[in-house]
Structure 1
Amino acid sequence: MFLKTFGWSFAVTIVALVVAFLYGGPQALILCIILGILEVSLSFDNAVVNARILERMNAFWQKMFLSVGIIIAVFGMRILFPLLIVGVTAGLNPVDAISLAMEKGDPETPGSYGYVLHEAHPQIAAFGGMFLLMLFLDFILAQRDIKWIRILEVPLAKVGKLDSASLILGMIALALTGAVAGEKQGIVLFSGLLGMITYFLVNGLGSLFDVGEDDVIDAVGAESGGRSGPSAPAKLAGKAAFMLFLYLEVIDASFSFDGVIGAFAITSDPIIIALGLGFIGAMFVRSLTVFLVREGTLDEFEYLDHGAHWAVGALAIILLITIEIPVNEVITGLIGVIFIGAALIGSVLRNRRAAAEVKKPQESANTTI
């Protein structure tokens, strides 16, 4: 199962490292490795959130996520997105934007590719930060039987009983962000509002479609020669799965903002960035997502959902903070890893306590007999 899921990721990594070495020698090879590690460390929470969405899709759409989805992630977000931002910000046509990118100018030098992209960071961070913040708020304000950080999640669940609580808190966060954005206030407020609108639009698109019998299939039955039953989980297909796929791609894109911008602190070479972030990092994140789905890890370790969404909330706040105050990418990555790691440990301890409680009555019964 491990090699089947991660085989393509390892193969693509080897090819990417060879290309990096041939392109720029040992230095390019090392930078490519660093960027790949950076992307994976920043995206642990991404993989968990993606997995919870992906497990609702049938096998076909899971494969689409690994094929079409990886094309969007690599070429769309890691290559075309920076070029688009630079072109719009600097008023360049696509050819000139590519030429500027290939000059590999110093990000500290005005007019260079890295510099122009860095100047566009406030609007990128506002859009991505508000999109991810709404994702976090909708999760953490929901009424759930299972709670992880009870001291925070219990009162937040009470706040969630208020109508439109996530929208109200999101607007407050956007207003506070705009208040400290100085001369960038206008573009920050507009971009943040656009991020919120995008979240609600994509999140609500599924309601525009009637999900009938043709849209829900018995994935277990289909994969086992037609076997089905009440315990077999129904998974989305057709129009419903397509809308969920779009939602998944927007979430995935929002997670990649910090990695794309942060990469320019390591190198301004777009080829190395594409190889490290895209071909290595994005491939491993997708493989990790599919692995979590196929192994049923999220159901076995029930706090992982919570840990991932707390990491999402932290990332959203960090993105909003970076509009005015730089935050090292290592800190961003470590926060996500810490939340996921703590949730995993908490899940293991919870499972052990549950197993012990089941075992005690059995031991008592055996003693009585």
Structure 2
Amino acid sequence: MSPSTETSTLSYFTWAFIVTGLGLALGAWLGWNETGTIGGMATVFFICTVLAVLEISLSFDNAIVNANKLKDMTPVWQQRFLTWGILIAVFGMRIVFPLLIVVIAAGIGPIDAIILAAARPDEYARIMNDAHLPIAAFGGTFLMMVGLSYFFDHDKKIHWISFIEKRLSAAASIKGVEIAFVLVLILAFSALIPDDPATPDVESTTFVFSAIYGLVTFLVVEVIGGLLDASQKTMSEAAKGGLGAFIYLEVLDASFSFDGVIGAFALTQNLFVIAIGLGIGAMYVRSMTIMLVEKGTLAEYRYLEHGAFYAILILSVIMYVQTLVHIPEVITGLGGATLIGIALWSSIRYNRKHHPVGADAVSPHG
């Protein structure tokens, strides 16, 4: 890699580096303010760092999927997503979302929820953990539909793991096949969920309803996107390719965030430390997304997108399995990152074999 290319790549992460410095400094200050010791300050600093790394590792596939959608959006809507969208992702999902769960679950006001997070973090964490099942069911179902919709695509021409993807692509001619698959999986998992003898069927019923809400949310977002896409024929060029994709990406980002937000409580019960750590990670996701779009990385590495969607499917299954047993978040993050790494390696091998002089690669959809 030449020095100019390296500088160009690093420049995409300028704001992420700035936010990292500010966030870690704020985390260290919180640690000092709470404990008054160097050890306490170092502990909170370390937790913020681990949370940021956890968020980045869980969100490699998120950045790739974002870039895939963004490349078809107009510059105006790209910029709106990368400014408004990141504010929603950082403040909405990392701060407002956990508070909203406590507000609904505990039946208290938003101000009381903030006071609870600051004064009684153990109780706050307990409420969040109790809400894990419906969150996992909703988010897992939405992400599963995202992943399956990519592979159940009759127009998909390029396949990474051919013996699987060719069959899924051919099966896409059967309308609703991915929905049927997800519904069967929902019923299967609901039958495996252990119930409290005092309240039989409550847990399984909660899982089914939450999963159905996730499925309906995906379908509604798809319908809205389709209606907006159809109406674009009568819109000015500057307004095309935007709102439908924007809504889709926001819901997708929210689904990706569920796992990280819930998992963060395994490391700390302090909402503000969680917000700092995950917020830092979200900034790197934003930077990676911009780099992937502007440098055309998805077109250059033809299997990278495939790896991301396989990672999404695995994450969705893990979220389902987590309703039965605990799976450490590090396994989730490393699993997705490993798949994307293998996809990148396969893409590089393909390019060396078929485009030795740097010829333009074909996009994943032909």
TM-score bracket, normalised by the shorter chain, equals 0.7 to 0.9
CA drift at 1:151: 2.4
Measure how far apart 1:3 and its partner are.
4.2
Residue 355 (structure 1) shift: 2.4
Is the 1:17–1:33 contact (alpha carbons within 8 Å) kept by the matching residues of 2?
yes
> How much does 1:287 deviate?
0.8
Cα distance between partner residues in 1 of 2:326 and 2:309: 23
| TM-score, normalised via structure 2 length | 0.88
Whole-angstrom distance in 2 between the partners of 1:213 and 1:96: 48
TM superposition shift of 1:356: 5.3
Distance (whole Å) between structure 2 residues aligned to residue 335 and residue 81 of structure 1:
26
Q: Deviation digits for residues 86-139 of structure 1, max 9, x if unmatched? A: 111111221221111112533xxxxx1111100000000000000000011111
- Partner residue of 1:176? 188
Instruction: Decide which of 167, 180, 189 is 2:179's aligned counterpart.
Output: 167
Output the CA distance in 1 between the equivalents of 2:345 and 2:9: 22
Which of residues 232, 237, 255 is equivalent to 1:211? 232
1:351-362 mapped onto 2 (5 Å cutoff) = 351-355=351-355
Contact 1:130-1:192 at 8 Å conserved across structures? yes
Q: Is the 8 A contact 1:215 1:240 kept in 2?
A: no
Residue among 145, 165, 170 paired with 2:157: 145
Structure 2, gaps ≥5 residues long: 1-7, 32-40, 196-202, 360-366
Q: Shift of the alpha carbon at 1:207? A: 2.4
The corresponding residue for 1:113 is 124
Aligned equivalent of 1:328: 328
Greater gyration radius: 1
Q: What's 2:275 paired with?
A: 274
Does the aligned pair in 2 maintain the 1:136–1:310 contact within 8 Å? yes
Dislocated runs of 4+, deviation >3 Å: 213-216, 356-359
Q: Which residue of 2 aligns with 1:191?
A: 210
Per the TM alignment, residue 358 of structure 1 is displaced from its structure 2 partner at its CA by 11
| Structure 2 Cα separation of the partners of residues 42 and 125 of structure 1 | 15
Q: Which moved more, 1:162-171 or 1:303-312?
A: 162-171
CA distance in 1, matches of 2:120, 2:43: 15
1:338-353 to structure 2, matched below 5 A, reads 338-353=338-353
User: Distance in 2 between the 1:251 and 1:115 partners?
Assistant: 26
Deviation digits for residues 9-55 of structure 1, max 9, x if unmatched?
Answer: 11111111111111112211111111000000010011101110011
In structure 2, relative to structure 1, the CA distance for the partners of 1:37 and 1:128 (3 Å cut) is same
CA offset at residue 357 of structure 1?
11
User: How far apart are the structure 1 equivalents of 2:94 and 2:179?
Assistant: 30
Which letter does structure 1 place at the counterpart of 2:208? L
In structure 2, the residue matched to 1:337 is: 337
| Distance (whole Å) between structure 1 residues aligned to residue 246 and residue 357 of structure 2 | 40
TM-fit CA distance, 1:155: 2.1
Q: 1:133 aligns with which of 124, 144, 152?
A: 144
Residue in 2 that maps onto 1:264: 265
Report SS of the residue matched to 1:171.
helix
- Residues 293-333 of structure 1: CA deviation (Å, up to 9, x unaligned): 00000000010111000000000000011011111101100
Structure 1: distance between partners of 2:148 and 2:83: 30
Q: Structure 1: which 5+ residue stretches go unaligned?
A: 107-111, 217-236, 360-369
Structure-2 residue corresponding to 1:295:
295
**Matched residues, percent identical?**
43
Quote the offset at 1:142 in angstroms: 1.1
Supply the distance in 2 between the matched residues of 1:12 and 1:98 (Cα, whole angstroms). 23
Residues 225 and 248 of structure 2 are in contact (CA less than 8 Å); yes or no, is this contact kept in structure 1? no
Give the distance between the partners of 1:343 and 1:147, measured in 2 at CA: 11
Q: Which residue of 1 aligns with 2:251?
A: 250
Q: Hey, what does 2:239 align to over in structure 1?
A: 238
The structure-2 alpha-carbon separation of the partners of 1:358 and 1:264, relative to structure 1 and needing over 3 Å to count, comes to: closer
Q: Does 1:20 align with 2:39?
A: no
More deviation, 118-127/134-143: 134-143
User: For 1:182, what is the secondary structure of its paired residue?
Assistant: coil
1:101 is matched with 117
Corresponding residue to 1:201 among 200, 220, 237: 220
- Determine the C-alpha separation between the residues in 1 that align with 2:23 and 2:265: 19
TM-score (norm 1): 0.87
Shift of 1:156: 2.0
